Amino acid sequence: MSHYDTIIKNGNVVLEDSVQSLDIGITDGTISSLQESITASADKIYDAEGNYIFPGMIDVHVHLDEPGRQDWEGFTTGSRMLAAAGGTTFFDMPLNGIPSTTTTEALLEKAAIGKEKSIIDFGLWGGLVPGNESHIADLAAHGVIGFKAFLSPTGNKEFEAADDMTLLRGMKEIAKTGKLLALHAESGPIIQYLTEQTAWQKDITADDYAATRPIQAETEAVERAIHYAEVTGCPLHFVHISSIRAVELIEQAKNRGVDVSVETCAHYLLFSHDDLAEKGAVAKCAPPLRDVDEQQKLIQKVKESQFDMISSDHSPCPASLKDRSLNLLEAWGGISGGQFTLLTMIELALTFEIPFAKVAALTACRPAERFKLTRKGKITIGNDADLAIVDLNQPFHVSADTFHAKHKISLYMNHTFPCTIAATFSRGRLVFRNNDFPASQSRGTWMQTENKPSIV
């Protein structure tokens, strides 16, 4: 009779195409058994009676801001917050740290911090900015998950937007490495022009801010980037897409054989422009929250499987940068919400009859496939024991006590979800349970990728 390190009993396990009542046996951080009933002995038993067990969330888009801006967030608080989200792997973006991750030296500095402080696994994006094209090959050789560029002003002097020639030259270099380029796709000229038309006003309303970043700015940038990808052969990943027309352009490119994937974020699905009008700067992001009609259409695209994955774009900042007294053009444009992606998707699944298997695909399976994390994303024998245990009978109210980011400032504050993340296992380690972190001294692994990204 086998002996396991841990057995998780009596759970409703979310598999690729079904939900089944199964026990999970874990050995050396790996799923070693899936059975209706495991009767063997184990060092630890976790009873998941009545709970649903999802594959651990893979959030491909977070900003933890360390080194340099760890007063905004950092790997310690950020990784705990993501573990509380049911997250077991995250990819940190390159732009808000000082230095930004645009050289190998900066990459290795950030990796050392992550290995010291993160309680779950992590990957690191490299950056494409004017003047660093010569660093692309070395960054790829040292294991960046991919590269990130902006087509509009970043609001960060350490990480400038890529002009067209930087983009084309950089994409050609990235294509040689087999990595992909993630793009913040909003047209810089359109945004700058419209902002100039608005900035003179004394009082900037939510409508005014939204008008400076219209859907046309997103679609122009998406279409241009797709053409550049066809010219250079560079795989693309579009981050935080917020409009139906942009999704349709990307779908058309996929049908032509372009290697491209697309994410949206939980906040575009759960909230709308009405929340920006009501709550002000705390709800400011870029692209902005869209109107209710567009929000509902995005949810329909989720149901139709036209998004490849859902991310958080967790983008925290100190309270002073979200103060309600600030001009909306000046306030920090990011949503602090990395803890709520899986909870949001389950809420939407319950409301709109989306199968839990599709939620698992969007939050774990498809990210793992796109970024070649071959032992993650699915609950199957031989994979890492990365698991999120969800209690559908226990609502979760977002408060300062339950939100684990460094700053308790969020659009999600005071929202009540219909379910709770009861526990999170990362490689078989219980890293989160009942609003606590029992394995806080454990450390995650830096996920360095070598293989080419998959064609979606």
The count of structural domains within the chain is: 2
Mark whether 316 and 417 lie in a shared domain.
no
Residue 453, domain member (yes or no):
no
Per-residue pLDDT, 185? 98
The enclosing domain of 283 has a CATH number of 3.20.20.140
Same domain, residue pair 94 and 197: yes
Asked if 357 and 416 sit in the same domain, the reply is no
Nearest to 185 by CA among 219, 236, 136: 219
Q: Give domain status of residue 49, yes or no.
A: yes
Q: Domain check: are 302 and 387 in the same one?
A: no
180 in the same domain as 45: no
Last residue of a domain, one of 370, 400, 423: 370
Does some domain include residue 451? no
438 within a domain of the structure (yes/no): no
Q: Distance of CA 347 to CAs 82, 269, 288, Å? A: 18, 11, 22
Q: Which long-range contacts (CB under 8 A, 24 or more apart) does 429-433 make?
A: 429/29, 430/6, 430/44, 430/46, 431/83, 431/119, 431/120, 432/80, 432/83, 432/84
What would the two tokens of residue 449 be? 């990728």
pLDDT for 33-79, tens place per residue? 999 999 999 999 999 999 999 999 999 999 999 999 999 999 999 99
Residues 63 and 42 in one domain: no
Same domain flag for 26 and 157: no
The reply to whether 289 falls in a domain is: yes
pLDDT at 80: 97
The residue range of the domain holding 112 is 57-370
Does residue 30 share a domain with residue 156?
A: no
Q: How many CA atoms lie within 13 A of 198 on its CB side?
A: 21
Q: Does residue 43 lie in a domain region? A: yes
Residue 278 maps to a domain? yes
Same domain, residue pair 63 and 35: no
pLDDT of residue 453: 55
Residues 230 and 280 in one domain: yes
Per-residue pLDDT of the chain (456 residues; tens, 9 = 90+): 589 999 999 999 999 999 999 999 999 999 999 999 999 999 999 999 999 999 999 999 999 999 999 999 999 999 999 999 999 999 999 999 999 999 999 999 999 999 999 999 999 999 999 999 999 999 999 999 999 999 999 888 889 999 999 999 999 999 999 999 999 999 999 999 999 998 887 789 999 999 999 999 999 999 999 999 999 999 999 999 999 999 999 999 999 999 999 999 999 999 999 999 999 999 999 999 999 999 999 999 999 999 999 999 999 999 999 998 888 999 999 999 999 999 999 999 999 999 999 999 999 999 999 999 999 999 999 999 999 999 999 999 999 999 999 999 999 999 999 999 999 999 999 999 999 999 767 789 999 876 455 554
Q: Is the peptide bond before 67 cis (omega within 30 degrees of 0)?
A: yes
For residue 449, being part of any structural domain is answered with no
pTM over 0.85: yes
Give the whole-angstrom CA distance, residue 111 versus residue 429: 21
- In a shared domain, residues 108 and 42: no
CATH number at residue 48: 2.30.40.10
